[in-house]
A and B are shown apart, each in its own frame.
Chain A
Amino acid sequence: MAKYSENRQKPKSTQDRLKGYAIKAGIKKGLAGTFIYGWLLASLTIIMVPILWMVSAAFTDTENLNAVPIIPIPTRWSLANYQEIFTYTGSTTQMLPDYPRAFLVSLGVASLSTVLTVIFSSLVGFAFSRYRFKGKKPVLLSMFGLQLFPSFMGMIALFLLFNQFGWLNSWPHLSLIYVAGSIPFNTFIIRGFMKNIPLSLDESARIDGASNLQVLRKIIVPLAAPILGFVAVDSFMKPWLDYILPSILMPENETVAMWLFRVNDNESQPYNPMLFMAGGLFIAVPIMMVQIYMQKYVVYGLTGGAEKG
């Protein structure tokens, strides 16, 4: 306000005034632009240096991290680390080298739990969004309550359970834990989504003689495909690099997370952070692409989708 009154007291010619504004605006813009680009470049450096260092380490043939160039140098690139992880076999009884084997075990755990989670939570979500039955609310509430208890807090009990039933080192049984743990949350999301599918669609299908399961399969599931896709991605990512549960329940059946931790742990044999860099990068790249592709969707699912329920 002060500026305006000043201007009024000392009237200038229009041209002068415009010129003054333009210069001021130009300086301001220049300063702001410099600051903003400075900030962006600083952020860029802080974000990219560790990542580039990892790439560089993955493709450098050395045993010492200090010998790794910070920025990858194309002339020094070598595939030695990858050669090692794809050929090194720790035990002679194994068919496959350690890393590919661990990769496949993790893939098995994650895929099985994805399939089962999608099936179970869409069934339960369907039941909760379409049916009235006794005990609906207590079941819903207790499912939510149980979900607050992180599954690995019951670790000791799970270990005993697995030991008792002879399930240690068996990956299909491990994936059942992930399924059980993720049913409640995914049920809420799916139920919220299915509630928004008009009931009239079910009714018209029923008039045409569709059974309960047919309604679910032919009407609801196709319409709920987007949210099922989100649930599928989410329930794949969770077990994919989980460390704690497999480290306790599958001590002799390594998953890829256990492998990464082992080669990076300087108390274990063989310790070689280079292998971690190479193996980690190999896993990170595809996941990174999926995440970037799905960014909007994932953020939506975690905020909007959950609140809908």
Chain B
Amino acid sequence: MDTIKQFGLKILDAFKRAGIFIVKGIPLGIYGFFKSIVFAIINFFKNLKMAKEEHPESFKRGLASFFLMGLGQIKNKQWYKGVPILSVFALFLIIELVTGGYWWALTGEIAAYPAEGELHFFRDYGGLFTKGLWGLFTLGAVTTYSTYRGVDIRPRGAVFGWDRGDNSRVLLGEGVIVLVLVALFIILWIVSVRDAYKTHLKVAAGKTIEDAKSFYKRVSEEYFAYLIIIPALILITFFILIPFIFSFMVAFTNYTDSISLGRELIQWHGFDTFIKVFNPEEDWFKFFNQTLMWTLFYAFMSSVTVYVLGLIQALIIESKYVVGKKIWRTIFILPWAIPGMIILLLFSNVFGADQGLLNNILASTGSTEGFREFLEMIGLVGQESDGNILWFTSSANAPLARTIIILVNLWMGFPYFMLMITGVLTTIPKMLVEAADIDGATSWQKFKYLTLPWVIRGTAPVIITTFTFNFNNFGMIYFLTGGGPGYPRSEIPTSLIGIAPGQTDILISWIYKLSFESTVNQFNLAAAYSILIFLLIGVVAIVQLSRLKTFWEEE
């Protein structure tokens, strides 16, 4: 028993440490982040001053590239570097000019259509980049069906391009894409300034700098790596990074479905959403709190139960009494081999209220009554209606629905652990077992002092991985119960009808409902919750990753 107790304590300890890490680590991490930024800025100016005083000529080359990307390289007689950099700059400039309306602005349109109030120059005449950034900062200024510069604003602009209402959501999206492009541009700019400065330092010190031929050779050979990872990076930027930044930003706006885009604008709201999440006086807080607690409980229970059952099954199949181990194992693997979605939908039918396997069995054996009373006695069921057991639909049966979720998870999840633990069992050295036999250990003693510690040592980290997986296991809830049963009507404030989570919703499934299935979709809250999950799961994953030494050993 001691070992099991120790094992339990160990897990609790791990969670406690993770908790402390999160509570202490996040503020510390944010503090450290800003501190290092401040220090980096101070250092930057120090170095800049030093460079200016000690190497004025090299500093000038850097300065040349600062004012015109690539100029410093050309002055360094490295035209093979300067020209490509310069042409990137030219490309950005051309795109900005071609997509902008600067020509119209200069030829008198501003005078012909004067603004009554503020003239939004970049809105009306900016190119891809300036207009994108303008949109990102303001999220729009002119709404449809208003008048601006003496012109009626329509959903689709007809004449000028600026006589079209602003759609904040589109502006935000385009703004994020532009932001990424501008960030890349700025990185190239910084690289070019540094390169111009450093190359001249080398020249001044009398060292040879690489000529065009060796530069090309290096680019084509060593930089082959860049060439093959860039397509993948573009994909990741477009489909992961940009959506990530977008969601991140939505959390700081007031964007919900109650805003009709075009007629109304989304606005930046700072930390309002997060205050709403954590303010105990808001209705949201109660549901967030309950959902988070259930999510943690569910993730914890479902990780531990599958582990324990997996261990039991592995030990039983491996015991000397069992013949046909391979057949048993193959049968027990079935729940893992069938795709999870199909199993979950299958179980949603097993626990159907009107047409369901279990209610059918209970009814045909005449034990519905007895079973329901038994469940009532142990506190899982509180439904008022007689007859069929409403597994997922009666709000008084929430404990039952939650228990079933954990049981179904156990049904699907144990085979994986059984397989893994069986694998670990085979690695126990024969010598140890024989030594134990010679010392006259009973099989219980062998299990307690040899098998269990060995298995736990080999597999404990996987429990944490399983925990994080379960924490975000959307399908488990959505396909099985759909989040039901809902909270009783009396507990839901009027402002949250159609938005509140169900009693078995975990955070991730609630986020999905908040974004796509509510009566009024709460995009900003969904985004804020996503960020919280990201922080929580990210911290756990980083702690785990830091243990993998090989990962950090990068030459």
Instruction: Say how far A192's CB is from chain B's closest CB, in angstroms.
Output: 7
Residue of A nearest to B221 (CB): A212
Number of interface residues of A (CB under 8 A): 94
Q: Is B375 an interface residue (CB 8 A)?
A: no
Residue of B nearest to A64 (CB): B355
Number of interface residues of B (CB under 8 A): 89
A180 touches B236 (CB 8 A): yes
Q: Which residues of chain B are within 8 angstroms of A126 by Cβ–Cβ distance?
A: 228
Residues of B within 8 A of A (CB): 169-170, 173, 176, 221-226, 228-229, 231-233, 235-236, 238-244, 246-247, 250, 313, 316, 319, 321-322, 328, 330-342, 345-350, 352, 355-357, 360-361, 411, 416, 419-420, 423, 462, 472, 474-475, 478-479, 508, 511-512, 515-516, 523, 526-527, 530, 533-534, 537-538, 541, 545, 548, 550-551, 554-555
CA–CA, A240 and B419, complex, Å: 24
A48 touches B411 (CB 8 A): no
A65 touches B349 (CB 8 A): yes
Q: Which residues of chain A are within 8 angstroms of B357 by Cβ–Cβ distance?
A: 49-50, 53, 65, 70
Instruction: Say how far B101's CB is from chain A's closest CB, in angstroms.
Output: 21
A36 touches B319 (CB 8 A): yes
B247 touches A264 (CB 8 A): no
Q: Which residues of chain A are within 8 angstroms of B527 by Cβ–Cβ distance?
A: 156
A156 touches B348 (CB 8 A): no
Instruction: Say how far B96's CB is from chain A's closest CB, in angstroms.
Output: 20
Residue of B nearest to A153 (CB): B530
- Main secondary structure, interface of B, reads helix
A 253-290 binary contact with B (CB < 8 Å = 1; else 0): 00001001100100000000100110010011001110
> What are 6 contact pairs spanning A and B, CB under 8 A?
A70-B361, A123-B231, A133-B226, A153-B534, A243-B479, A309-B551
- Main secondary structure, interface of A, reads helix
With contacts A47-B334, A153-B511 known, is A146 near B240, CB below 8 A? yes
Residues of A within 8 A of B (CB): 29, 32-33, 36-37, 39-40, 43-44, 46-51, 53-54, 64-66, 70, 120-121, 123-124, 126-128, 130-133, 136-137, 139-140, 143-158, 160-161, 164, 176-177, 179-181, 183-184, 187-188, 192, 212, 237, 240-241, 243-244, 248, 257, 260-261, 264, 273, 276-277, 280, 283-284, 287-289, 291-292, 295-296, 299, 303, 307-309
A156 touches B526 (CB 8 A): yes
Q: Which residues of chain B are within 8 angstroms of A123 by Cβ–Cβ distance?
A: 228-229, 231-232
Contact of B550 among A39, A46, A192, A212 (CB under 8 A): A192
A148 touches B537 (CB 8 A): yes
With contacts A43-B313, A243-B341 known, is A54 near B331, CB below 8 A? no
A280 touches B346 (CB 8 A): yes
Q: Which residues of chain B are within 8 angstroms of A37 by Cβ–Cβ distance?
A: 321
Residue of A nearest to B249 (CB): A157
Query: Chain A CB within 10 Å — which of B223, B235, B347, B538 has the most?
Result: B235
